[in-house]
C-alpha cells in the first residue's frame, strides 16, 4: 500500500468536468482537487467543500485504465512513507470521506473543527448507508451537513462550529454517525476501566462504545482517553479507517487490572512486539515464569511499552505487548508520550486531584487521585490543615468515601471544607507515603456586607468573603431578607487600597458596586454571584 508515486491530475478528466467543476458558485469558482478513492474519481472544492464524482475507476494490474493512477497512492508531500499515519491517511482518503487541504498537502497536524467533524460524520453515514455521498455545501458551507446530522439524530445540540473539537466532542459525534450494528463489541472494556473518563460524564457512553468496538484504544498504556484534548487530522484519518473497515479495528482487553490481557490483533501492523526480559532476575525466577509466559526477546533501539500507543494520538513508535507472566509499571507518570517501563518502581502519583468552583449550591464534586508503583494495596487519607495542624476528613453529611481513593464533596453553604486546602496522603503496603497537591473547592460566591461607603457616586461594599471566588468585572446580586434588591457589576475589588483581579473565601475586601437596577445596598445585605433567575424585588422597601 505504501507507494511513493504522486497523483497526476488528469487533464482530460478536468476538461470534461469544466462546465460543472468551475461553474460559478455564489461568489467563487470551484477549485477542485482529485482525491480518487477505491471506486471512483472523487473531487472536492477547496473553497465550499462541494463534492463531485468525476468517473468510475477501472483497475488493471494495479493501475486505473482511465487515469493511470496506482490503485493505492499517496499524493501528499506532508505524509511521509515512514509516518505512523501513512496507511491510515491513504486508506481514509480512498474511502472518499476525508481529503487533503490541497491536492498535495493533507496537513496531518491541523486540528479538527466541529464543522469538519460533523461533515465527516454525515459523509460516513451516507457512504455506510448508501455507498456514496450526495450532500453538497450550503450557506454557511457546513449547514447541509449539520441539518443531515440533526435529522438523523447524529447530533443533538448546537456547536461552536468553527471551534476546534475536543476528543470527547468528536467521539460523541462519530459514535452516532453509524448504526449500532456497525459497532460490534470485540473488546472487554468494563465500566470504570478508562481512568480519565468519569462515569457520570455525558460522553462516557460514546467513549466506551468506541473502545469496545476497537476503534479507539487510548493515548497510553493505561488507555487514557484525554477527553479535553483536541485532535489532529492524522488521528481523525485513523479513526475513519477503523470505522469504515472493520478489518482495521484493534483488539485488546482491559478486564485485567494489571493490564496483562492488553493484546493487539494482526491487523495493527508494526505494533505487535514482545517485552524485554528483565535480565536482573535470577535463573530460577525466569524458569518459573517461563511456564506461564511466552519467551521474550529484546528488540534493539526501540522504546519498551506495555501496550501500543493509539495511532490516533501522536507519533506511532513500534511498541510492545505485555508478557502474561510479568507485571510492569511505568518509571514516571504517563504523559501520553513514549515511556520506558521497568519492574518495582517507587510509589508515584499518576493523577492529581483537581479543585473546582460551583455555580450553584448543592453541586457535588469528586476529588480523585490515582497512583502506581510501590506495593499494593494502597490506603488513602484525605486531610486539610488548620493553621499548622493536619485535620483528617471523615465521612459525614458533606464528605463521602473520604477514606478511599475518591472524596465525593457536596457543595453546601454549611460545608466547612469549602475553601480549605485539601490533599491526600497515600500509603502503600510497605509504609511508603506520597502526598498529592493541595486543591480547593469553592461554593458560589457570597459575602455579608459589614460596612459600606458612598463616595463620588460609587458604592463600596465591605466585608469578609464567606465562600467562593469573585473576579473583577463579574455580575453580582445583593440579597436582603431573601429577596434580590439590587443587581450590578463588581467594578473593582480593593484590599488595603490596592485593586485585585479576584477575591476568595476568608479575605476582607471592598467591592466597588456599579448598580444597574434596584436600591442602594447597605450593612446586613449579602452579595452573591448573579444567577439568570435573579429578579429585583423592591416592593416592600422604603428608601
Tens digits of residue pLDDT in 12-63: 333 233 333 333 345 666 666 655 554 455 666 766 666 665 566 565 665 6
Query: Given pLDDT bands bounded at 50, 70 and 90, which one contains residue 536?
Result: very high
Mean pLDDT of 249-255: 89
129, 177 contact by CB (below 8 A): no
Rounded to the nearest integer, the mean pLDDT of the chain is: 74
Mean pLDDT of 453-466: 87
**Is pLDDT of 7 > 50?**
no
pLDDT score of 302: 37
Q: Which CATH number fits domain 446-529: 1.10.10.10, 2.40.30.10, 3.90.550.10, 3.30.479.30?
A: 2.40.30.10
DSSP H helical segments within 201-277, as ranges? 204-212, 233-244
**Which of 10-24, 154-168, 316-330 is least confident?**
316-330
455 vs 190, more confident? 190
**Which of 2-11, 116-125, 206-215, 506-515 is least confident?**
2-11
**Is pLDDT of 211 > 50?**
yes
Q: What residues have CB less than 8 Å from 442, skipping those under 6 apart?
A: 355, 356, 357, 358, 411, 418, 419, 467, 468, 469, 504, 505
Closest CA to 380 of 438, 433, 437, 441: 433
pTM of the predicted protein model: 0.40
**Which of 44-53, 176-185, 275-284 is least confident?**
275-284
Mean pLDDT of 401-417: 83
Q: Alpha-carbon distance 129 to 239, whole Å?
A: 18
pLDDT in tens, 80-134: 888 888 877 877 777 778 878 777 788 888 898 999 999 999 989 988 887 778 8
**Is pLDDT of 330 > 90?**
no
Mean pLDDT of 220-241: 88
Q: Alpha-carbon distance 174 to 171, whole Å?
A: 5
Query: Given pLDDT bands bounded at 50, 70 and 90, which one contains residue 308?
Result: very low
Q: How many helices and strands (H and E) does the chain possess? A: 9, 30
pLDDT score of 425: 94
Query: Given pLDDT bands bounded at 50, 70 and 90, which one contains residue 66?
Result: low
Mean pLDDT of 350-356: 87
427 vs 44, more confident? 427
**Which of 186-195, 202-211, 300-309 is least confident?**
300-309
Q: Alpha-carbon distance 335 to 327, whole Å?
A: 20
pLDDT score of 169: 93
**∠ CA 204-236-184 to the nearest 5 degrees?**
55
3-class SS letters over 413-432 = CCCCCCCCCEEEEEECCCCC
The domains of the chain are located at 1-110, 349-442, 446-529
Q: How many CB atoms lie within 10 A of CB 41?
A: 24
Q: What residues have CB less than 8 Å from 101, skipping those under 6 apart?
A: 46, 107, 110
Element at 490 (helix H, strand E): strand 483-495
Name the percent of the chain in helix, strand, coil, to the closest 5: 15, 25, 55
**Is pLDDT of 334 > 60?**
no
**Which of 131-135, 464-468, 529-533 is least confident?**
131-135
**Which of 146-150, 388-392, 508-512 is least confident?**
388-392
pLDDT score of 406: 85
Give me the percent of the chain exceeding a pLDDT of 90. Answer: 29
Peptide bond into 140 cis (omega under 30): yes
- Scanning the structure block, which residue is given the C-alpha cell 485532535? 231
Query: Given pLDDT bands bounded at 50, 70 and 90, which one contains residue 209?
Result: very high
Mean pLDDT of 208-225: 90
2 vs 127, more confident? 127
Angle at which helices 233-244 and 167-174 pack, to 10 degrees?
A: 20
236, 119 contact by CB (below 8 A): no
C-alpha cell at 322: 505485555
pLDDT score of 58: 63
Q: Alpha-carbon distance 390 to 368, whole Å?
A: 19
Query: Given pLDDT bands bounded at 50, 70 and 90, which one contains residue 220?
Result: confident
Q: Alpha-carbon distance 482 to 487, whole Å?
A: 14
**Which of 22-26, 103-107, 252-256, 270-274 is least confident?**
270-274
**∠ CA 135-140-141 to the nearest 5 degrees?**
35
End-to-end CA distance of the chain: 83
Closest CA to 237 of 149, 125, 312: 312
Q: Which CATH number fits domain 349-442: 3.10.20.740, 3.40.190.10, 2.60.40.10, 1.10.10.10?
A: 2.60.40.10
Amino acid at each position: 500500500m505504501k507507494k511513493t508515486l504522486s497523483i497526476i491530475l488528469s487533464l482530460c478528466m478536468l476538461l470534461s468536468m469544466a462546465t460543472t467543476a468551475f461553474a460559478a458558485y455564489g461568489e467563487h469558482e470551484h477549485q477542485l482537487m482529485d482525491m480518487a478513492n477505491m471506486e471512483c474519481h472523487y473531487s472536492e472544492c477547496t473553497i465550499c467543500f462541494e463534492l463531485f464524482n468525476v468517473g468510475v475507476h477501472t483497475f488493471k494490474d494495479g493501475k486505473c485504465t482511465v487515469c493511470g493512477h496506482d490503485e493505492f497512492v499517496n499524493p501528499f508531500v506532508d505524509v511521509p512513507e515512514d509516518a505512523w499515519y501513512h496507511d491510515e491517511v491513504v486508506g481514509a482518503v480512498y474511502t472518499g470521506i476525508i481529503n487533503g487541504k490541497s491536492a498535495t498537502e493533507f496537513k496531518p497536524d491541523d486540528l479538527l473543527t466541529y464543522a469538519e467533524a460533523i461533515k465527516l460524520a454525515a459523509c460516513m453515514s451516507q457512504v455506510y448507508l448508501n455507498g456514496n455521498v450526495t450532500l453538497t455545501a450550503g450557506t454557511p458551507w457546513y449547514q447541509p451537513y449539520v441539518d443531515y446530522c440533526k435529522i438523523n439524530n447524529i447530533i443533538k445540540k448546537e456547536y461552536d462550529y468553527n471551534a476546534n473539537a475536543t476528543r470527547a466532542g468528536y467521539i460523541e459525534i462519530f459514535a452516532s454517525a453509524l448504526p449500532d450494528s456497525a459497532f460490534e463489541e470485540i473488546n472487554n472494556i468494563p465500566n470504570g476501566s478508562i481512568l480519565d473518563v468519569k462515569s457520570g460524564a455525558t460522553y462516557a457512553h460514546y467513549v466506551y462504545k468506541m473502545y469496545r468496538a476497537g476503534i479507539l484504544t487510548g493515548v497510553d498504556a493505561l488507555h487514557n482517553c484525554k477527553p479535553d484534548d483536541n485532535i489532529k487530522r492524522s488521528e481523525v484519518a485513523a479513526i475513519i479507517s477503523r470505522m469504515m473497515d472493520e478489518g482495521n479495528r484493534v483488539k485488546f482487553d482491559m478486564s485485567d487490572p494489571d493490564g496483562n490481557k492488553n493484546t493487539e490483533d494482526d491487523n495493527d501492523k508494526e505494533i505487535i512486539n514482545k517485552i524485554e526480559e528483565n535480565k536482573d532476575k535470577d535463573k530460577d525466577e525466569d524458569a518459573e515464569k517461563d511456564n506461564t509466559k511466552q519467551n521474550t526477546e529484546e528488540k534493539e533501539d526501540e522504546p519498551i511499552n506495555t501496550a501500543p500507543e493509539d495511532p490516533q494520538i501522536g507519533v506511532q513508535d513500534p511498541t510492545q505487548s505485555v508478557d502474561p507472566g510479568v507485571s510492569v509499571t511505568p518509571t514516571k507518570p504517563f504523559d501520553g508520550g513514549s515511556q520506558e517501563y521497568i519492574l518495582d518502581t517507587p510509589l508515584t502519583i499518576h493523577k492529581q486531584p483537581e479543585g473546582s468552583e460551583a455555580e450553584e449550591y448543592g453541586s457535588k464534586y469528586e476529588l480523585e487521585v490515582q497512583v502506581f508503583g510501590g506495593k499494593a494495596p494502597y490506603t488513602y487519607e484525605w486531610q486539610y490543615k488548620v493553621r499548622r495542624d493536619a485535620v483528617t476528613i471523615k465521612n459525614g453529611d458533606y464528605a463521602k468515601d473520604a477514606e478511599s481513593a475518591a472524596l465525593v464533596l457536596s457543595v453546601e453553604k454549611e460545608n466547612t471544607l469549602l475553601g480549605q486546602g485539601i490533599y491526600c496522603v497515600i500509603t502503600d503496603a510497605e509504609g511508603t507515603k506520597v502526598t498529592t497537591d493541595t486543591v480547593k473547592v469553592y461554593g458560589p460566591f457570597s459575602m455579608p456586607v459589614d460596612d459600606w461607603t458612598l463616595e463620588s457616586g460609587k458604592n463600596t461594599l465591605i466585608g469578609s468573603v464567606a465562600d467562593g471566588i469573585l473576579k473583577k468585572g463579574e455580575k453580582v446580586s445583593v440579597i436582603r431578607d431573601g429577596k434580590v434588591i439590587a443587581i450590578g457589576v463588581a467594578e473593582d475589588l480593593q484590599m488595603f487600597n490596592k485593586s485585585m483581579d479576584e477575591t476568595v473565601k476568608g479575605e476582607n475586601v471592598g467591592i466597588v458596586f456599579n448598580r444597574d437596577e434596584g436600591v442602594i445596598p447597605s450593612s446586613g445585605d449579602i452579595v452573591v454571584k448573579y444567577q439568570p433567575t435573579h429578579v429585583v424585588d423592591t416592593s416592600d422597601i422604603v428608601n
